[in-house]
Amino acid sequence: MPELPEVETTRRGVEPWSIGQRIVRVEVREPRLRWPVPAELPARLQGQSIAAVERRAKYLLFHTAGGSLLVHLGMSGSLRVIRDAHPAQRHDHVDIVLASGDRLRFNDPRRFGCMLWLPPGEDHPLLQHLGPEPLLEAFSGELLYRRSRGRRSAVKTFIMDARTVVGVGNIYANEALFLAGIHPQRAAGRISLARYECLAERIKQVLTSAIDQGGTTLRNFVGGDGKPGYFAQQLFVYGRGGQPCKRCQAPLRESRLGQRTTVYCVACQH
């Protein structure tokens, strides 16, 4: 699934080609996404100019004077800039045609993504109750410490909860916990403030590095420019179960936690 770095990479890729552009038309070839594409969406967007492209958690928001387009990439989706007359392929479900002649093309093989409409000034239920953005000042080790008190759930599950902090998906939770030296199964409420301060910094570090590398390509993710991400080459633990730890050479262990693959080093993480 595209996680926060992949979505932010997509935002940065499409933003320069979108800002200030008038939407000429919207071509919906397949409306049956996770939630059906609203029948009125093409009419709502036609003639509107894109004022800003924002990311909130794993959602993209294309703001216009008449409202906002809410996009989620789902499990396998991508949103790319098409600058030529390349014909749509099987899973290219929606094209947003801009006055420049460029297209924003939404591809989603599994159709778990969405394209929804938000009237001006309204908040969507999908965006309500979300925690802070991990790369902003509001996110800190002190916040994690406060929210974790009395929690018996595993710390990995805790930091992957979007009500705690948004966008810390499975790949980056594994990596941040390794860099912070914290065992992923340790109870969230039994971790000290000092260790949470370290973890918060490592979360910021991992996500920033992943964004700089264009995300992590594990299957078929590409950014807004159509290029893959390269952060997978820097992974310390994720996808490396049974291989030597890059720090101490001990074999990395792999288990399931909350139905997600969890990889860690018993020597380096406590």
Residue with tokens 């790949």: 171
Domain membership of residue 134 (yes or no) is: no
Provide the pLDDT for residue 121: 87
Q: How far is the C-alpha of 268 from the C-alpha of 264, rounded, in Å? A: 8
Task: Give the mean pLDDT of the chain.
Answer: 93
Question: 182-215 pLDDT, tens per residue?
Answer: 999 999 999 999 999 999 999 999 999 999 887 6
Residue 59 and residue 30 share a domain: yes
Q: How far is the C-alpha of 18 from the C-alpha of 50, rounded, in Å? A: 6
Judge whether 110 is annotated as a binding position.
yes
SS3 call for 30 = coil
Q: What is the mean pLDDT of residues 5-30?
A: 96
Provide the pLDDT for residue 214: 76
Q: What are phi and psi of 187, to 5 degrees?
A: -60, 130
Tokens representing residue 68 in the block: 């906002």
Q: Is the pLDDT of residue 229 over 70?
A: no
Task: Say whether 56 is catalytic.
Answer: no
Task: Tell me which of 11, 44, 58, 80 is the catalytic residue.
Answer: 58
- What is the CATH classification number for the domain harbouring 204? 1.10.8.50
Tell me which of 127, 153, 186 is where a domain ends: 127
Cβ within 8 Å of residue 137, ≥6 positions away: none
Residue with tokens 């390509």: 217
Residue 238 and residue 156 share a domain: yes
Strands (E), 47-161: 52-56, 59-64, 67-72, 78-82, 92-98, 103-107, 114-118
Task: Say whether 227 is catalytic.
Answer: no
Q: Is the pLDDT of residue 227 over 70?
A: no
Residue with tokens 């693959």: 261
Residue 252 and residue 158 share a domain: yes
Task: Tell me which of 2, 5, 134, 184 is the catalytic residue.
Answer: 2
Judge whether 91 is annotated as a binding position.
yes
Residue 78 and residue 8 share a domain: yes
Domain membership of residue 89 (yes or no) is: yes
User: Which has the closest alpha carbon to 238: 140, 171, 139?
Assistant: 171
Residue 160 and residue 106 share a domain: no
Q: Which amino acid is at 258?
A: G
Tokens representing residue 195 in the block: 């260790």
Domain membership of residue 136 (yes or no) is: no
Residue 146 domain boundaries: 141-264
Judge whether 152 is annotated as a binding position.
no
Provide the pLDDT for residue 176: 98
Q: How far is the C-alpha of 168 from the C-alpha of 174, rounded, in Å? A: 9
Task: Tell me which of 56, 240, 246, 260 is the catalytic residue.
Answer: 260
Could you tell me the sign of the dihedral formed by the alpha carbons of 50, 52, 53, 57, in that order?
negative
SS3 call for 42 = helix
Question: 194-203 pLDDT, tens per residue?
Answer: 999 999 999 9
Q: What is the mean pLDDT of residues 235-242?
A: 95
Residue 121 and residue 77 share a domain: yes
User: Which has the closest alpha carbon to 138: 158, 164, 157, 159?
Assistant: 164
Task: Say whether 5 is catalytic.
Answer: no
Judge whether 161 and 267 are in contact, CB under 8 Å: no
Tokens representing residue 204 in the block: 């910021």
What's the pLDDT band for 219 if we cut at 50, 70, 90? very low
| Total domain count, the chain | 2
Domain membership of residue 196 (yes or no) is: yes
Helix spans in the chain (H):
4-18, 41-45, 141-148, 155-160, 170-180, 193-212
Residue 121 and residue 34 share a domain: yes
Question: 80-133 pLDDT, tens per residue?
Answer: 999 987 899 999 999 999 999 999 999 999 999 999 999 998 889 999 999 999
What's the pLDDT band for 66 if we cut at 50, 70, 90? very high
Residue 145 and residue 110 share a domain: no
Residue 150 and residue 95 share a domain: no
Domain membership of residue 30 (yes or no) is: yes
9-13, 37-41, 83-87, 240-244 — which is least confidently predicted? 83-87
Task: Say whether 137 is catalytic.
Answer: no
Domain membership of residue 133 (yes or no) is: no
Q: Is the pLDDT of residue 222 over 90?
A: no
Judge whether 69 and 62 are in contact, CB under 8 Å: yes
Q: How far is the C-alpha of 21 from the C-alpha of 41, rounded, in Å? A: 17
Strands in 114-118's sheet, in edge-to-edge order, are: 52-56, 59-64, 67-72, 114-118
Domain membership of residue 270 (yes or no) is: no
Domain membership of residue 247 (yes or no) is: yes
